Amino acid sequence: MRKPILVLALVLLAAVPAFGQWQPADIRISETTDYCYTTAYGGWSIACDTNDVHIVYRQYYYPRYNASYVGFPIGEPPGTPPAPTQINNAQIRCNYPCISAVGDGSLHTDWDYSYVNYFRPYNGSSWGSIESHGQGEGNWQPYAPAICSDADGNCYSVYNNYYYQRSPRRYYRDVWFQRRTAGGSWSHSNRIYRAPLYPSYYYYSYYPSICMTPNGDLHVSVVARGGQYRPVHIWSTDGGNSWDDEYVNGNNTAYYSYPTSICSDKDGNVYIAYNSYDRRNIFVASNVNGGWENVNVSNEPSNYSYNASICCDTFGNIWLAWHDRRGGSDYAIFTSTLPFDGEFTDDWSTPLQTSHSTDDAYRAQIAADPHGNVHLCWYDRRHYGDGYRYEIYYNWYSPPTGGPTGELDLIMEQIIRPYTTEEAGAAFNPACRIWQNLEDTTIDAEVLCRIRDMETMSTVYEDVLAVYPLDHGYNEVSAFRAFTPEGSKEYEAFFVVNHPDDIDVSNNDMNKRFNTEAVAQVDPIEIPVPGEGEAIDKMNPNANFKNIGTEVATDFYCYCEILSEDAYATADYIDSFAVASLDPEATTDVMFAEWLCDDSSVYVARFFAAVPAAERELIGEEEFVSFQGVPWTGIGEGPVTFGLEAITPNPFTGSASVNFSVPKAVNVSLKVYDVTGKLIETLADETFTAGSHTVNWTAEAAPGVYFVRFTTLEFNACEKVTLIR
């Protein structure tokens, strides 16, 4: 039986930082019989923008491998566990997701599964398409991504790439980098770090973490197994085009298979948290004083300490979270803080047990918002005996009114209007959101909006609210006079708030570019067939598509794909319908060709509109419907006449047997695909006589998951197999 952790109230009070407090009770975020986990990699499971807290987590219980998302307003955590949004889909599973906030309500999420990285953006109102990325040259296999984002919507991803070389025998786990522009284009994947060879086969560096300093420099941390198991700092001053690296901790050693965590303060100083090699302590390294210095923050040599997460708040304080089991037999979440005074010292606060569970709590994730609040999430097993498994929990720290000094600090939080694209000739009222930090106080401030024509670089609009009352908290300011944009123009809107008592004017302004370019966007808005969760043996998929954009959509196709959950790398069915023109707000109802089910799998129907290029470039959002397949008995000579049996052995190390049967002489195609849908090998493409047959696959491919597809004119099936070494 587990024993509760007993912590004296006096000890807790002594450990609380003098300038604020954590909430007295944890908030339960998930409620499911699945296993829910925060990330095990170097990214963050939690992020904050000016308004909201965002949490992603892995929700697992076979066959579910979900990336789940929950968001809620700062200071208003949910009273009961909210229903999460699933951000992956049935054919793209998830290991551990991470998240970053752009700052205008937009989000970026990243995760991996079966050595493929996946990315999905959120634009403030809806989720975009899932994108795969990170593939290197040859047989490199990406995994363990971590991301950060800038205010312009660009995303920066670092990850491990794994590769096994037969001769001479070498194992590589290098750090690679890729950049995604705000428009949705990924750069080429580049290796930015390779650890020294150690001992004779391994180039290993695990689970990188990434952050950006206020001046736009990128910083990455990782532990190299070679080079005496030391943390490494990797940095770029040109947006990721070139990189340098260095060791950060003298002769100290770090445990290579636990992630580091990296952050930057408002002055551009960098902090790296890592596990000591004996796994008993959490260290923080910093370059504040000009050279790298290291401090043992957890200071718990008698117990193990794991999974450090680090962040910096708006006041410059450094926050560290981890889990260990000091004072009890169960792991708990602990935090410590270094008040920033321009120097890096060992004057960290006494570690404070922040979780309130009497059962194991793991993998703390910590992040700060622009108002000085600090937010923490983790997973623990306090409800394991109630029929649940691991659940996600949350707590937050609130500084005193006005921050450490109690003085006025106004923040221009968000530009509400203009939108990124405005309608030409249609007047709108500019609007912004301002944070006022003093409780029980109303102050009168000056708020200005100015709009500039980017072609002529001239000011075309200006309005000043000379005395505008701002209450404590968020204030939406929309009292500006109207502005009417011209067609085919690019503008920049500038907002600023001023008050003579404001102690920090660096956060008082914000600008945003917008244009009046018309766009076409065609979305599937209604899907009568198939229905979600239905059991189906045959059907004609049906969807209603609508142009929700402001421009006529021309020369595009409406598509339907059907994919099996067991073989999601390759479409089981695809049909398209050509549309010559679709006006804004107009709809078109599309009935696709008949689909016949040949396997009792869970299927996903994917509906989307795209231009007919080689990559089928999307011109709108995708919609997915899951349903249960029921084999249709009208196929061929019946559902049992053709068959692809389970591949044996599975997993296998060198050779596997593929067994199948056909009721008559027929041409059979046996092909092997990887998880991205790439053809790896053709095992057979010839005529086989009626009866049972065996084809052997002697694999030369890298370790991983593969799909063997059996195809005839009358029947097809797919089996998944795992190759190990």
Q: Is the pLDDT of residue 716 over 80?
A: no
Highest mean pLDDT among 170-179, 244-253, 568-577, 701-710: 170-179
DSSP 32-77: -SSEEE--SSSS-SEEE-SSEEEEEEEEEETTEEEEEEEEEETT--
Same-fold call for 522-629 versus 643-723: yes
Mean pLDDT for 564-589 is 81
pLDDT digits (tens, 9 = 90+) for 530-568: 988 888 988 999 999 998 777 888 989 999 988 886 665
Please check whether residue 322 is in contact with residue 305, taking contact to mean a CB–CB distance below 8 angstroms: yes
What was the pLDDT predicted at 685?
87
Highest mean pLDDT among 87-91, 242-246, 354-358, 666-670: 242-246
Mean pLDDT for 693-722 is 84
* 30 or 567, higher pLDDT: 30
Highest mean pLDDT among 107-116, 512-521, 599-608: 107-116
283: part of which helix (H) or strand (E)?
Answer: strand 282-286
CA 442 to chain centre: 39
- Angstrom CA distances, 423 to 281, 400, 519, stand at 57, 44, 10
Highest mean pLDDT among 273-282, 372-381, 715-724: 372-381
Mean pLDDT for 612-619 is 69
Residue corresponding to tokens 């067609």: 487
Q: Is the pLDDT of residue 632 over 90?
A: no
What was the pLDDT predicted at 7?
30
Residues 6+ apart with CB under 8 A from 10: none
Q: How far apart are CA 247 and CA 411, in angstroms?
A: 38
Q: In this structure, what is the dihedral angle of CA atoms 369, 371, 372, 376, given to the nearest 10 degrees?
A: -30
DSSP 302: T
Mean pLDDT for 659-674 is 84
Give residue 280's identity as a one-letter amino acid code. Answer: R
What was the pLDDT predicted at 602?
84
Residue whose C-alpha is closest to residue 214's, from 148, 286, 150: 150
Residue whose C-alpha is closest to residue 493's, from 412, 411, 549, 410: 412
What was the pLDDT predicted at 55?
97
Mean pLDDT for 143-148 is 95
Q: For the chain, what are the domain ranges?
A: 9-399, 405-515, 522-629, 643-723
pLDDT digits (tens, 9 = 90+) for 50-60: 889 999 999 99
Task: Report the share of the chain in percent with pLDDT over 90.
Answer: 41
Q: What topology does CATH give the domain 522-629?
A: Immunoglobulin-like (2.60.40)
Residue whose C-alpha is closest to residue 117's, from 156, 81, 143: 143
Q: How far apart are CA 15 and CA 349, in angstroms?
A: 7
What was the pLDDT predicted at 12?
32
pLDDT, averaged across the chain: 86
3-state DSSP assignment of residue 312:
strand
User: CATH assignment of 405-515, given 3.30.70.260, 2.60.40.10, 2.40.110.10, 3.10.310.70?
Assistant: 2.60.40.10
Q: What confidence tier does 27 reach under pLDDT thresholds 50, 70, 90? A: very high
Q: Is the pLDDT of residue 87 over 90?
A: yes
Beta bridge partners of 28: 393
Q: What topology does CATH give the domain 9-399?
A: Neuraminidase (2.120.10)
Residue 643, judged by CB atoms within 10 A of its CB (0-12, 13-18, 19+), counts as middle
Structure tokens at 607: 């509906």
Q: What confidence tier does 639 reach under pLDDT thresholds 50, 70, 90? A: very low
Mean pLDDT for 4-11 is 29
Q: How far apart are CA 305 and CA 283, in angstroms?
A: 10
What was the pLDDT predicted at 402?
53
Radius of gyration of the CA atoms of the chain, in A? 28
* 575 or 588, higher pLDDT: 588
Residue corresponding to tokens 């579910």: 64
Residue whose C-alpha is closest to residue 20's, from 403, 366, 340: 403
Mean pLDDT for 462-478 is 91
pLDDT digits (tens, 9 = 90+) for 396-415: 998 765 555 568 889 888 88
Weakest mean pLDDT among 227-236, 265-274, 304-313: 227-236
Q: What topology does CATH give the domain 643-723?
A: Immunoglobulin-like (2.60.40)
What was the pLDDT predicted at 429?
95
pLDDT digits (tens, 9 = 90+) for 340-369: 777 788 889 999 999 988 889 999 999 999
Give residue 47's identity as a one-letter amino acid code. Answer: A
pTM of the model: 0.62
Mean pLDDT for 572-578 is 84
Q: How far apart are CA 103 and CA 617, in angstroms?
A: 27
What was the pLDDT predicted at 615?
62
Task: Report the share of the chain in percent with pLDDT over 70.
Answer: 92
Mean pLDDT for 676-696 is 84
Q: How far apart are CA 549 and CA 551, in angstroms?
A: 6
Mean pLDDT for 188-210 is 89
Structure tokens at 530: 């198939």
